[in-house]
């Protein structure tokens, strides 16, 4: 499980990350809200820990920004502010939990595990979700996310992407794509497959360092972070 921590107290930040790593989490430390929001654009995390009083963009505004594009990743506010008005503000911005400093790390761990268990999909739901690197494909809702940002696709673009993802890194040919995505309803000698692959590359790969859609010359296409 990958955790992203927003905390400008260097000592607390280091101690908390060491504790989480000793409990089999990975933990990245960020010290200001602006850098935090840049970090989540190109990286995927399972849970966010946010202090409120941090430089540049405060933790509550960061929480609200996250919720504008990511409704599901758990967010826990960790703050010295303990008034009910502060807690109300955090929950209004759709934080999942609020822990007042100073707190015991073990209590935080209990709350984190509780949220992560609730977030975990059931077996039936999990079958409808494909994850490749920071790409998430929800087949039930026909939605696609990369690095937490939803990507708008047409129906055929979605069907093509899902078919590539279901191949689990194996190369699929144009013929196989036409059989499964277009069901032979168009001339397989046309460049329709190439055109749609290019559409997907512009939407899925263009703005990201790691490219997921690859061509195996003479054979076809495959989806992989490698």
Q: Quickly state the pLDDT bin for 124 (edges 50, 70, 90).
A: very low
pTM attached to this predicted model: 0.56
Q: Quickly state the pLDDT bin for 123 (edges 50, 70, 90).
A: very low
pLDDT digits (tens, 9 = 90+) for 142-172: 889 987 788 999 988 999 999 999 998 999 9
Same-domain check for residues 11 and 61:
yes
Asked if pLDDT for residue 215 goes beyond 90, the answer is: yes
> What integer is the mean pLDDT of 21-31?
94
Residue 11 forms part of a structural domain:
yes
Same-domain check for residues 194 and 114:
no
> What integer is the mean pLDDT of 190-203?
89
CB-CB contact of 49 with 5 (8 Å)? yes
Per-residue pLDDT at 16: 96
What gap in Å lies between CA 160 and CA 175, rounded to an integer?
Answer: 13
CATH of the domain at 55: 3.40.50.2300
CB-CB contact of 119 with 72 (8 Å)? yes
Of the residues 84, 119, 154, the one at which a domain ends = 119
Q: Quickly state the pLDDT bin for 126 (edges 50, 70, 90).
A: low
Same-domain check for residues 93 and 133:
no
Same-domain check for residues 146 and 104:
no
Per the structure block, which two tokens stand in for 9?
Answer: 């107290």
Per the structure block, which two tokens stand in for 190?
Answer: 């046309």
Q: Which domain holds residue 112?
A: 2-119
Q: Count structural domains, the chain.
A: 2
Same-domain check for residues 180 and 138:
yes
Of the residues 119, 142, 165, the one at which a domain ends = 119
Q: Which residue has the higher pLDDT, 150 or 47?
A: 47
Per-residue pLDDT at 159: 92
Of the residues 69, 93, 119, the one at which a domain ends = 119
Share of the chain above pLDDT 90, in %: 58
CATH of the domain at 168: 1.10.10.10
What gap in Å lies between CA 91 and CA 175, rounded to an integer?
Answer: 51
Same-domain check for residues 9 and 107:
yes
For residue 109, give Cα distances in angstroms to 22, 60, 105.
11, 21, 6
């Amino acid at each position: 499980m990958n955790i992203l921590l927003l905390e400008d107290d260097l000592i607390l930040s280091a101690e908390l990350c060491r504790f989480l790593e000793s409990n089999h989490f990975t933990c990245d430390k960020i010290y200001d809200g602006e850098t935090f929001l840049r970090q989540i654009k190109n990286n995927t995390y399972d849970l966010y820990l946010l202090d409120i009083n941090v430089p540049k963009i405060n933790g509550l505004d960061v929480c609200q920004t996250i919720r504008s594009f990511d409704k599901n990743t758990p967010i826990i506010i960790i703050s010295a502010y303990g008034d009910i008005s502060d807690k109300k503000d955090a929950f209004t911005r759709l934080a999942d939990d609020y822990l007042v400093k100073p707190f015991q790390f073990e209590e935080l761990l209990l709350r984190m595990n509780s949220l992560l268990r609730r977030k975990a999909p059931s077996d039936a739901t999990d079958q409808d979700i494909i994850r490749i690197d920071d790409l998430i494909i929800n087949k039930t809702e026909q939605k696609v996310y990369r690095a937490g940002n939803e990507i708008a696709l047409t129906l055929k673009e979605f069907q093509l992407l899902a078919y590539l993802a279901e191949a689990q890194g194996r190369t699929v040919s144009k013929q196989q794509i036409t059989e499964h995505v277009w069901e032979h309803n168009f001339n397989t000698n046309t460049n329709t497959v190439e055109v749609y692959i290019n559409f997907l590359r512009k939407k899925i790969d263009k703005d990201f360092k790691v490219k997921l859609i690859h061509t195996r010359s003479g054979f076809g296409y495959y989806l992989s972070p490698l």
